[in-house]
A and B are shown apart, each in its own frame.
Chain A
């Protein structure tokens, strides 16, 4: 099992960018993936993308292509998700979740990071 600790809540203006971190402990980065999932207030779960932390390979949801970037730092076991050109519709809780494979499931989740986009 891996423990995932995310960075704190953020408030951003429309058009700005936000970068959320997710630090893993209890296991190494090798042999698994990290996905990002978001949940708007009162809404369902939305998959955003996946990164192979050790290889840096990424795949993003088509809806977010061009606005989302996922990166990793293997020296600190941390992955990052940056979302740019923020809109009010991006207000959500953002979760990192350990993925077992590209087409796998998510067995460990971070505590979530609330990102609020408001002028």
Chain B
């Protein structure tokens, strides 16, 4: 049971827009801690996708966007492409656990 809750899977057709939610609580996202997102392509190392809720590292396309509100955050991917098929993880900090926490991950399938 992950501290941050994500849907196990989402899907969309090429060109469509999908969103992945990340629900926390008052001890992590709701406490004001930033949410970060990682993309893990099959068989590869996780890669930072979004940091500080909505910021993209250099080289990440602007098709990826993030937001945070209350005790939740979301990752949106627009103009879906086959190469977006991957696992996506949200991450934040939890004061009760005194450490970082991850969501359980969401598998994105491009139909």
Judged by a CB distance under 8 angstroms, whether B18 is at the interface is no
B51 touches A112 (CB 8 A): no
Report Cα–Cα, A110/B46, bound state, in Å: 10
The contact of A47 among B87, B100, B104, by CB within 8 Å, is B100
With CB as the reference atom, state the residue of chain A lying closest to B93.
Answer: A103
Cβ–Cβ contact B89 & A44, under 8 A: yes
The distance in angstroms between the C-alpha atoms of A56 and B101, with both chains bound, is 22
* Chain B, residue nearest A108 (CB): B48
Interface residue tally on B, bucketed by range: 20 to 34
B68 to chain A: closest CB distance in Å?
13
Residues on A with C-beta less than 8 A from B48 are: 105-107
| Residue B45, interface by CB 8 Å | yes
**Contact pick for A59, options B99, B101, B105, CB 8 Å:** B99
Q: Which residue of B lies closest to A110 (CB)?
A: B45
Q: A9 to chain B: which residues have CB within 8 Å?
A: none
How far is it, in angstroms, between the C-alpha of A99 and the C-alpha of B100 when the chains are bound?
10
Which residue of B2, B91, B103, B104 is within 8 Å of A105 (Cβ)? B91
Q: Chain B residues near A109 (CB, 8 Å)?
A: 45-47
CB-CB under 8 A for A50 and B38, given A105-B51, A105-B91: no
| Contact, CB under 8 Å: A111 / B101 | no
Chain B residues near A (Cβ < 8 Å)? 2, 33-34, 36, 38, 45-48, 51-52, 57, 87, 89, 91, 93, 97-105
